[in-house]
């Protein structure tokens, strides 16, 4: 099971994640960060989904060690990305046409995060917010 602990984020991403959640709340959104750190084994399992006859949709192009979720510092989880979903009526709203996705994306972008839901993202992945390059 991948982590959803904010403590497993990169030290520079932790305060941004807290600000993100607070701003979402201020905007009237209920948002769940459902993934922070993912181990190499968990990443490979996710990569296999939807490929070679495995059930489910393809959700990532990254193998173990290639995802910002796999990042470590001195062998400790320090994910450079988190995945978030808006909750509507207490339940995850996965329909990305729901307006809360755009509000959530704008809030993350305003904080300087790289939101993969933006139209110019190389691989669109609406829940994914990543620490931009430039942070060590």
Which residues bind to Zn ion, rule: CB under 5 A?
Answer: 81, 83, 128
Position of minimal CB gap to Zn ion: 128
Token pair 């994914």 is found at 128
- Decide whether 53 or 132 has the Cβ nearer to Zn ion: 132
Q: Minimum CB separation from Zn ion for residue 77, in Å?
A: 14
What would the DSSP string read from start to end of 67-128?
SGGG-EETTEE-BSEEEEEEEETTEE---TTSHHHHHHHHHHHHTT-EETTSTT-SS--TTE
- Decide whether 59 or 103 has the Cβ nearer to Zn ion: 59
Q: Minimum CB separation from Zn ion for residue 98, in Å?
A: 19
- Decide whether 23 or 128 has the Cβ nearer to Zn ion: 128
Q: Minimum CB separation from Zn ion for residue 134, in Å?
A: 19
End-to-end C-alpha distance for the chain, whole angstroms? 26
């Amino acid at each position: 099971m991948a982590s959803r602990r904010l403590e497993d984020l990169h030290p520079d991403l932790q305060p941004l994640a807290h600000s993100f959640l607070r701003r979402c709340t201020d905007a009237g959104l209920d948002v769940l960060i459902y993934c922070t750190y993912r181990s190499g084994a968990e990443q490979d399992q996710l990569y296999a989904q939807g490929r070679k006859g495995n059930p489910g949709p393809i959700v990532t192009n990254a193998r173990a060690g290639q995802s910002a979720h796999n990042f470590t510092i001195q062998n400790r989880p320090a994910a450079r990305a988190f995945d978030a979903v808006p909750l509507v009526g207490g339940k995850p709203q996965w329909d990305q046409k729901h307006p809360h996705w755009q509000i959530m994306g704008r809030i993350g972008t305003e904080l300087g995060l790289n939101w993969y839901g933006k139209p110019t993202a190389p691989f669109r992945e609406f829940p994914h917010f990543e620490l931009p390059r430039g942070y060590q």
